Structure 1
């Protein structure tokens, strides 16, 4: 097992499961932000029944499972066996849902069918070097297909490749994974350089209260 897979297995064990239902009583839903019942939903993907959609870094599978319930052919990819085990336990019988253990770039290189949309929610598009990954996604997106991803906005002055720390036991050093942080305008330039159009990047404010960190959502079209 790779160091990256071990790190995300560790992270997975520390994360709570998705709630049985959301504030609207729904058993499946799509959430781009780190806050419950907040922000836009699957409409950003502009997909229809029968479309093939890829979740890069699907984690425990809640977003992909929701798309599958809408008649979308949802494909989830993650490097973590623990994450995927949780996804299969809860969502594995959902019609139209596929789950694969692989790294994002490797899966894209092997795929032959293509996708109508690709997305990442605090996933592979945050934790993978965007230069090769954006090219690989562009090659697999069908004409007019959507790329949408979300992540935390960068800390001011800390741009490009940064370190994220995943804590372990009290006597163990934290695990380290790389992430890529850019301001919205930098993401827009980067996607345009890779051949994307209709590029938009903006921060969705946090919900009212004491929370001050919003969610950066980037949208583009092949």
Structure 2
């Protein structure tokens, strides 16, 4: 349960019960959602409780096992272990919504990943992702490593050049007393 008493919720930021909700994605009912870097599956499970069908892909087999066990009662939710570019290259599925919350979009070269995402999206579909803002220190344990940090303007150029439109990128301020906000990017597939 979160602070509001909800059993499931979508969390774009690294802080519990902080930031916008799923309305960033528009209506999810009846839509096919892919989460790249689905972790324990909590964000995707929330969207499934709202009427979406979901597929979570994560590179870590242990994460898939946790997600499968935790969300076994949701019939419209499945999980797979795969690297994001390999999955997108091999699947023939099309998705209405693709999201990545501190996931693959942050860790995979956007010139490789974005065309693959776009190729698996329905026209007019939504891509949304979040990660730490450019220049932020990653304060999470084990957070160091190769990341693709870009400014909002750079994300707009990258996304537009790879078949996306209506790009918006914004910074979600951190809760009071916390040092780092979250960048949230949203775009539509042309």
Name the TM tier (shorter chain): over 0.9
Distance, in Å, in 1 between the alignment partners of 2:175 and 2:44 is 24
Distance, in Å, in 2 between the alignment partners of 1:135 and 1:165 is 31
- Higher-Rg member (1/2): 1
Give the 4+ runs in structure 1 shifted more than 2 A: 164-167
**Residue in structure 2 matched with residue 51 of structure 1 by the alignment:** 31
Asked if the contact 1:69/1:95 (under 8 Å) is kept, the reply is no
1:180 counterpart SS class: coil
**Residue in structure 1 matched with residue 73 of structure 2 by the alignment:** 93
Distance, in Å, in 1 between the alignment partners of 2:72 and 2:81 is 14
Q: Which runs of 5+ in 1 are unaligned?
A: 1-20, 159-163, 168-175
**Residue in structure 2 matched with residue 17 of structure 1 by the alignment:** none
TM-score between the two structures when normalised by the length of structure 2: 0.93
**Residue in structure 1 matched with residue 157 of structure 2 by the alignment:** 189
RMSD: 1.9
- The Cα shift of 1:32 comes to 0.2
**Residue correspondence of structure 1 range 65-144 to structure 2 within 5 A:** 65-144=45-124
CA deviation digits over 1:56-113, x for unaligned, max 9? 0000110011111111011100010111111112112212101001111111122213
CA deviation digits over 1:173-222, x for unaligned, max 9? xxx642111111111111111121000111111122x2131100011000
- How many equivalent pairs are there? 188
- The Cα shift of 1:165 comes to 7.7
- The Cα shift of 1:30 comes to 0.5
Asked if the contact 1:47/1:117 (under 8 Å) is kept, the reply is no
